[in-house]
Amino acid sequence: MTTLPDTRPIPRIASVATAPKTILVVTWVDGHTDSVDLSGWISTGGTLLSPLLKTAFFARAAVAEYGLSVQWDEDGNAAIDSVHLEALRDQQRPFESRELSEWQRRMEVSNQEAADLLGVSQSTWLNYKGGKSRIPRAVQIACHATERDPIFFEAHYHPRSVGRPGNSTAA
């Protein structure tokens, strides 16, 4: 089996179907099915991908390269590989409180540091983590960005000191 540099198996596609507009319904070889919105990807592809905005052309989606891509034309100009498709799916998947807690653990930040990093109050942060409030899309995007890009994280992270402030009396 071919693997990516981080040793994850390369995702393989078993079948695809199209849904309204630019939604691709992907069934992976492991049996999971995901709906992936390709509108952002298509819009950044210029004239090469613009035919995909036509319903009839988009509906021609077919698995290619033994499950390693989806293509819409015979020459493979209008195609997306399975790695990028999986990445889009992961970015579009909604964050639930469990994912938010896992993100916090991976980033090794306190509740207050996480709240500060994302520009929300600590009580709002705790409501997100506790499932009491819907996690806004902007928070989801920021969490993904801080984890993917260490410089982005470092630029916005402000560590908090643990415990009480020290005594600042002068001698």
Q: What's the fold here for domain 97-156?
A: 434 Repressor (Amino-terminal Domain) (1.10.260)
Output the tens digit of pLDDT for each of the chain's 171 residues: 455 556 778 999 999 999 988 999 999 999 999 999 999 999 998 888 999 999 999 999 999 999 999 999 988 789 999 999 999 998 888 888 999 999 999 999 999 999 999 999 999 999 999 989 899 999 999 999 998 898 989 988 888 876 655 555 555
146, 119 contact by CB (below 8 A): no
* pLDDT value of position 169: 55
* Predicted local distance difference test score (pLDDT) of residue 85: 96
Number of H helices, E strands in the chain: 9, 6
Q: 10 Å Cβ neighbour count for 11?
A: 21
> Residue 166: its pLDDT value, please?
58
CA–CA dist 62, 73 (Å, integer): 9
Q: Residue 19 corresponds to which tokens in the numbers above?
A: 């849904």
CA nearest neighbour of 69 among 54, 58, 85, 56: 85
Please tell me the pTM assigned to this model.
0.73
Per domain, the residue ranges of the chain are 13-92, 97-156
Specify the fold of 13-92. Answer: NE0471 N-terminal domain-like (3.30.2020)
Q: Which residues contact 92 (CB under 8 A, 6 or more apart)?
A: 36, 37
Smallest Cα–Cα separation from 96: which of 54, 42, 132? 132
Quote the CA–CA distance of 86 and 136 in Å, as a whole number.
Answer: 22
